[in-house]
C-alpha cells in the first residue's frame, strides 16, 4: 500500500509543487461533480467542516451538513464563484447527518441534486432535491429514493437521452452491509465486517437506469462488473485496482469510461466498456495519490478540453477531512487511453 503522500510534502513548498490551486479557499470542499449547464461549468462538491467527531474507518469525522454550488464562467477562471447554501440537512425530513459526495443532472429545464445521507437508523440512503436553477436552492423530496442505499451517486446521461445512476462505497459507505439484499448492521459495527475474502471477487459498484421523472430507479440496481486483463473479476485483495468508492462515468468517442477511487490505496482508476451496464475492463490509473486520505473526482468536457476535477488537503495543510477542490486538464491519447496525472511537480 502506498504511504499517504502528506508524509513526503513540505507544506511551505506545496503551492509550488501542486499542479493546480484550490478553486475556492474561503471554505473547505471535496468530492467535486462537474457539469456544463448553459455554457457555464457548475461544480457540486461536499462541504467539509470540523465538527469535532472522532477519526475512524467509518468516516465519522466527515460530518458535512450542507451543500454549496460552485461555478466557473470560463476555463481561464482560476477562482470559482460560490452560490451559497443550496441544501441543508435540517431541511431534509428523512436525513439525520453526513451529507457526503453529491451529483447533479438536468432534464427539461429542471435540475436534480442527488446526495447520500444517513437516515435516523444510521443507514446511508440516496436522496434527490429539485430546482429550476443549476445553482439552487434545491427542494428535497420528503423521502429517500426507494430501494436506494450506500453512497456516492453519479448520474450519467447517455446519447439516447437515458439517465443512469452509479453508486456505492465500501467501509463507511456500507456497501458491504447489503450483500444479502438487506442491511446487516453487525455487532459491533465495523467497516470490515461482511467484506469478501482477499481471494474472492471484490464488491461491485451499482448501476440503475433512472425513471423518466428522474426521481426514482426505473429498475433494480445491478452490479457493474470490473474485469482484469484476463477477463476475470477484480479481487478484493487487489487493493490497488478494486472498487472502493467514487463512481463516475463519461463517454469518449463512443466508448464508456467508468472511473473510481481505490480508497485506502489512494488511486483513481478507470475501465472501459461498450454499454452503460458493462462489463468494464480495467485500463489503468488516472491520478496518483494526493495529500490527504481520500480521492474523489469527476471528468467533464468543456469547450473542447477534458478536465479532471479532484480534491486534496493542501489548503488545510494535510487535515484529512478539510479538503479543497481543484481541476486539471485530462488527455485521452490516440488510442483512447487516459494519460496519468501527477498532482504534484517534482521540484
CA separation for the pair 255, 272 (Å, rounded): 7
Contact 308, 302 (CB under 8 A): no
Longest dimension (CA), the chain: 52
SS (H, E, C) the chain: CCCCHHHHCCCCCHHHHECCCCCCCCCEEEEEEEEEECCEEEEEEEEECCCCCCCCCCCCCCCCCEEEEEEECCCCCCCCEEEEEEEEHHHCCCEEECCCCCEEEEECCEEEEEEEEEECCCCEEEEEEEECCCCCCCEECCCCCCCCCCCCCEEEECCCCCEEEEECCCHHHCHHHHCCCCCCCCCCCCCCCCCCCCCCECCCCEEEEECCCCCCECCCCEECCEECCCCCECECCCCCCCCCEEEEEEEECCEEEEEEECHHHCCEEEEEECCCCCCEEEEEEEECCCCCCCCCCEEEEECCEEEEEEEECCCCCCCCCCCEEEEEEECECCCCCECCECCECCC
Q: Catalytic: which of 12, 31, 91, 264? A: 31
Active site residue 197: no
Q: Catalytic: which of 48, 103, 135, 245? A: 245
Active site residue 160: no
Radius of gyration for the chain, computed over Cα atoms and rounded to the nearest angstrom: 19
Q: Which residues are catalytic?
A: 31, 245
Amino acid at each position: 500500500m502506498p504511504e499517504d503522500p502528506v508524509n513526503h510534502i513540505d507544506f511551505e513548498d506545496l503551492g509550488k509543487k501542486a499542479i493546480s490551486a484550490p478553486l475556492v479557499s474561503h471554505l473547505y470542499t471535496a468530492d467535486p461533480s462537474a457539469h456544463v449547464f448553459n455554457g457555464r461549468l457548475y461544480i457540486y462538491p461536499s462541504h467539509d467542516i470540523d465538527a469535532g467527531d472522532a477519526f475512524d474507518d467509518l468516516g465519522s469525522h466527515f460530518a458535512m451538513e450542507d451543500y454549496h454550488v460552485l461555478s466557473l464562467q470560463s476555463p481561464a477562471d482560476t477562482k470559482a464563484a460560490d452560490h451559497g447554501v443550496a441544501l441543508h440537512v435540517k431541511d431534509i425530513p428523512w436525513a439525520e447527518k453526513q451529507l457526503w459526495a453529491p451529483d447533479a443532472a438536468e432534464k427539461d429545464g429542471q435540475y436534480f441534486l442527488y446526495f447520500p445521507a444517513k437516515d435516523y437508523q444510521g443507514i446511508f440512503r440516496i436522496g434527490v432535491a429539485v430546482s429550476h436553477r443549476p445553482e439552487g436552492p434545491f427542494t428535497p423530496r420528503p423521502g429517500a429514493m426507494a430501494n436506494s442505499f450506500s453512497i456516492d451517486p453519479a448520474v450519467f446521461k447517455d446519447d439516447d437521452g437515458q439517465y443512469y445512476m452509479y453508486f456505492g462505497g465500501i467501509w463507511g459507505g456500507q456497501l458491504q452491509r447489503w450483500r444479502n439484499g438487506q442491511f446487516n448492521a453487525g455487532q459491533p459495527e465495523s467497516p470490515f465486517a461482511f467484506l469478501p475474502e482477499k481471494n474472492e471477487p471484490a464488491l461491485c459498484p451499482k448501476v440503475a437506469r433512472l425513471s423518466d421523472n428522474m426521481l426514482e430507479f426505473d429498475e433494480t440496481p445491478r452490479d457493474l462488473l470490473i474485469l482484469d486483463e484476463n477477463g476475470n473479476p477484480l479481487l478484493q485483495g487487489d487493493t490497488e485496482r478494486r472498487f472502493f468508492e467514487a463512481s463516475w462515468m463519461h463517454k469518449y468517442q463512443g466508448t464508456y469510461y467508468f472511473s473510481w477511487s481505490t480508497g485506502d490505496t489512494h488511486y483513481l482508476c478507470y475501465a472501459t466498456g461498450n454499454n452503460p451496464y458493462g462489463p468494464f475492463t480495467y485500463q489503468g490509473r488516472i491520478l496518483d495519490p494526493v495529500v490527504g486520505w481520500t480521492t474523489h473526482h469527476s471528468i467533464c468536457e468543456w469547450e473542447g478540453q477534458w478536465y479532471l476535477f479532484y480534491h486534496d488537503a493542501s489548503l488545510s495543510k494535510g487535515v484529512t477531512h478539510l479538503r479543497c477542490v481543484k481541476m486539471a486538464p485530462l488527455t485521452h491519447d490516440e488510442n483512447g487511453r487516459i494519460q496519468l496525472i501527477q498532482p504534484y511537480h517534482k521540484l
